[in-house]
Amino acid sequence: MVFTTGVALPLMSSEFGLGVTEKGVIAAATLFGILIGATALGDLADRYGRKQMFIVEMLLFGIFITLLTFSPSYLVVVVALVGIGIALGCDYPTAHLIISESMPSRIRGRMVLGAFGFQAVGGLAGTGIGFLILFENPQVGAWRWMYASTILLAVPVIIGRFFIVQSPNWLAFRGRIKEAETETERLLQRNPRYPKEVILRRLQSGDQNQEKAPWSALFKGTNLSRTILASVPWFLQDLSTYGIGIFTPTILATLIGARIDHPRNTAELIQSDILATKGAALIDILLIVGIMFAVLLADRVGRIRLQILGFIGCAVGLLLAALSLDVGGTLAVVLIFAGFMLFSFMTNIGPNAMTYLIAGEVFPISIRGAGAGFAASFAKIGAVLTAFLFPILLKDIGTHLLLLILVGTSLLGALVTRLYAFETKGINLENVEEREKVPPS
């Protein structure tokens, strides 16, 4: 959804006559909405339940994507994109908790990342659909059909969410033991039935610990270091991932000479967008390959090692892309594609996947939704800044310096991850608050 904007933005710009600032606003609108949604709605899953919010957020998404499709003006486009972002922001923590609190510890990582991997599939699908729509309907208004195609996918997802299992962990924590037993039986349903009966024990730690903890708990004691681990590397990762992801078509078109800076007519605009989209789709394939490796390795190698390795790999990829500007001819094309492809692979095997996974695992259940929501929200501050400033910085300081800055932020992400490392591989989420901060072995 977010990366579709990279394909749709040139067409929106032509239809509404947008300047650089307006382009930045559109690019950042969804991310700004995610920031709000993750902060304002993320902790509602702690209060009202994982399943309830899982349904509500998708209904909001469907409403705003419909509004976006029929937007008559630039202002309505921005409002619709912010609304879509609010729904997605709520989904960041809730989707993680729906899966992680219903899975055995030994496979929790691969299950969460298996679902998360569909973000990469969606990014590639969005780029591919954008290309097909442009090819079949080379008109400025084709961007509306790009977003309209999402509505067809949203409807069955909304229906399916009514049939998922409520988190037994959350129900038990809230003292709703009978409901937790019923949901656990649904979760374990098989033929022949085993176990034949589920009996859960009530928590013995006192009723006062069974209430939702205040937001301030995220910044006290052990939780503070876990908040830093969950949010700061994610912030640094989003600086590069969303900037590169959204504007890959623009950067590629510029660097390989396919960009037409001042298209004289609609045909030239569409041609420029199609050429850039082809290159972006090729690079997006590496996102899927990267997430496949993350799924296979997260429960074997560990979250911390993969995140550090991924950050370093991202830095190397961005450095190769920057070096392409110092050479010419075929070597420049090889370096730019090699750099972006390495970046795409390493970000999904590492920080893009691991930051999401870690944020939903390091907090105790009383503040897990709030903690994961805060981490996602803090990260999207970086994404919003990048999306808004990227087109401006590309013009003012150039691609070379911008890529070198992102090399630095990637290396900083590796450093922060190492300093605040807390490995959650294989641990029971019910006991996560009892674990002390330990470095990876």
Q: How confident is the model at residue 260 (pLDDT cuts 50, 70, 90)?
A: very low
pLDDT of res. 205 = 45
Question: How far does Cα 249 stand from its chain's mean position?
Answer: 19
To the question of pTM greater than 0.85 for the whole model, the response is no
- Please report whether residue 243 resides in a domain: yes
What span, in angstroms and rounded, lies between the C-alpha atoms of 14 and 307? 40
314 lies in a domain?
Answer: yes
Distance CA 318, CA 342 (A): 8
**Would residue 441 count as lying in a domain?**
no
Contact by Cβ (8 Å): 245, 347: no
Pick the most confident of 72-76, 167-171, 283-287, 435-439.
72-76
In the chain, the number of structural domains is: 1
- Give tens-digit pLDDT for 106-155: 888 888 888 887 776 776 676 677 767 777 666 777 888 888 888 888 89
For residues 28 and 246, the answer to whether their CB atoms sit within 8 Å is no
pLDDT in tens, 65-85: 999 999 999 999 999 999 999
Among residues 97, 108, 232, 217, the alpha carbon closest in space to that of 165 is found at 97
How far are the Cα atoms of 80, 181, 230 from residue 34, in angstroms, in the given order?
12, 34, 16
What is the amino acid identity at position 175? Answer: G
Give the pLDDT band (50/70/90) at residue 367: confident
- pLDDT at position 404 over 60: yes
In this structure, is residue 416 part of a structural domain?
A: yes
Q: Using CA atoms, how far apart are residues 253 and 267, in angstroms rounded to an integer?
A: 16
Let me know if residue 249 belongs to a domain.
Answer: yes
The parent domain of residue 410 ranges over: 4-434
- Looking at the domain assignment, is residue 275 inside a domain? yes
CATH number of residue 28's parent domain: 1.20.1250.20
Out of 231-235, 312-316, 334-338, which region has the weakest mean confidence (pLDDT)?
Answer: 334-338
| CA geometry: angle 339, 341, 345, nearest 5 deg | 115
For residue range 290-319, what is the model confidence (pLDDT) as tens digits?
888 999 999 999 999 999 999 999 999 999
For helices 222-255 and 266-301, the axis angle rounded to 10 degrees is 140
Region 184-194 average pLDDT: 75
